[in-house]
Amino acid sequence: MTAELNERFGLHLTDAFCGFKAYRVCALKRLDIRETGYAMPLELWAKAATAGMKIVELPVPLVYLDEKRTFGGNLDDAQVRLEYYRLTIERAAAEAEPVAADYLSGCGELK
């Protein structure tokens, strides 16, 4: 999913899901994030990139290595999970609106 986001939106993320996140509240107010499940970061990246917001990634050390971790329910099926993620990205990209340059200069950085 990270590779798909990078290719589609011109991002340079190393991991679309993991790590610590910090956001500017004034930037988040411009995004209508509605996803409450595992795909929430994908919606955020797609909408932020489509809106023209700046995204900065700072590396953090890997904390867990449990490859047997589960997502629960039907999301344990990798194909179902992939479809859910891709649908989230499609919806987010279709809903996102560009942000004016003057707004970005005052707040628009998203970290």
pLDDT of residue 110: 42
9-33 pLDDT tens trace: 999 998 888 777 788 888 888 888 9
Q: What is the pLDDT of residue 106?
A: 56
Mean pLDDT by 10 residues, the chain (111 residues): 94 85 84 90 92 83 71 86 92 76 51 42
Q: What pLDDT does residue 40 have?
A: 92
User: In the 3-class helix/strand/coil scheme, how is the chain assigned residue by residue?
Assistant: CHHHHHHHHCCCCCCCCCCCCCCCHHHHCCCCCCCCCCCHHHHHHHHHHHCCCEECCCCCCCCCCCCCCCCCHHHHCHHHHHHHHHHHHHHHHHHCCCCCHHHHHHCCEEC
pLDDT given for residue 53 in this prediction = 87
